[in-house]
Amino acid sequence: MIGRLFRRRLMPVLLAAVLLLGAGVYALTGSGREAAEASAAVTDWGLSFQQEGAPPVANATRDYLKNYRALYVGDPKKKEIYITFDAGFENGNTAQILDALKKHNVKATFFLVGNYLETQPELVKRMVQEGHTVGNHTYSHPDMSKISDTESFCAELQKNEALFEAITGQAMPKLYRPPQGKFCESNLQMACDLGYATVFWSLAYVDWYVDDQPTKEQAFEKLLPRIHPGAVVLLHSTSSTNAQILDELLTEWENMGYTFGDLEAVCASMEAPQSTPSP
């Protein structure tokens, strides 16, 4: 019941946030400075794929995001990619996904909401035991860009921290993914002040409609030609297509010369900003 309510409430919002990303385009016509200025206001994360095999252009620059210990792509000169999954509920696909990751010795990052931590402690334990990183996707998956006070922002992250520690006995890794891809400068700053690295993504496709899943061919049409050095790949663990194709998908990327990196290590290596930047 919780899972169905979660889907009805959040999936339409997720569509609005990521629909342009799924199409691979958004309105980006200005300079890098204009992209940085856009991120000072509330905005949806967006990407423009301009060249096959190359990182997309985002509506906030890499340099701007670094000022807040945020990223959407790794080293564009290194054929290393980072696999991430967002999860708000469990519908039977995660075990198969974990099996495929284990087969390829790939360490992924799972960004979980409170509902998942509360209802799937055994799967959370398995993620940790098999070397994956569990990141913070907020407790209730709100539009965080509408939260302006620090206390409410902190509560969304700290509730998950407490749940994760109760399940695993460990402190939750300081990786945060904004729900719906919505962000603003104050959000980035608050997350940074809490010691978090904010993680967006540079490759995704429309995989979250559990009753309207893409075919393998449709998935590969998006995920193979658009893979690029430093890619932070966003997938959803609710997707039966992802569970079915992941083993083959990882093999295809390996055959293209890619290796799989540790996103938590990349985030840990980012220096804390010395001062608040101007756009």
Tens of pLDDT, residues 56-80: 999 999 999 999 999 999 999 999 9
How many other CB atoms are there within 10 angstroms of residue 265's CB atom? Answer: 11
- Residue 30 confidence (pLDDT): 39
What pLDDT, on a 0 to 100 scale, did the predictor assign at position 134?
A: 98
Pair of tokens at residue 175: 């990786």
What SS3 class is residue 43? strand
Q: What is the pLDDT of residue 243?
A: 98
91 token code pair? 């519908």
105: Cα separation from own chain's centroid:
20
Tell me whether residue 279 is in a domain. Answer: no
Residue 14 lies in a domain: yes
Helices 150-168 and 121-129 sit at what angle, rounded to 10 degrees? 80
Residue 157 in contact with residue 203, Cβ under 8 Å?
A: no
Residue 278, domain member (yes or no): no
Any domain includes 164:
yes
99 assigned to active site? no
Q: pLDDT below 70 — which residues of the chain?
A: 1-42, 272-279
Please indicate, yes or no, if residue 47 is contained in any of the structural domains. Answer: yes
Q: For the chain, what is the radius of gyration of the CA atoms?
A: 17
Query: Which range of residues forms the domain containing residue 14?
Result: 2-269
Q: What is the CATH number of the domain that holds 259?
A: 3.20.20.370
Average pLDDT, the chain: 87
274 domain-assigned: no
What gap in Å lies between CA 15 and CA 10, rounded to an integer?
A: 9
Position 41 scores a pLDDT of 67
The question of whether 236 is a catalytic residue gets the answer: yes
CB 87 within 8 A of CB 247: no
Catalytic residue among 44, 86, 141, 207: 86
DSSP 3-state of 137: coil
Active-site position among 137, 141, 228, 236: 236
pTM: 0.85
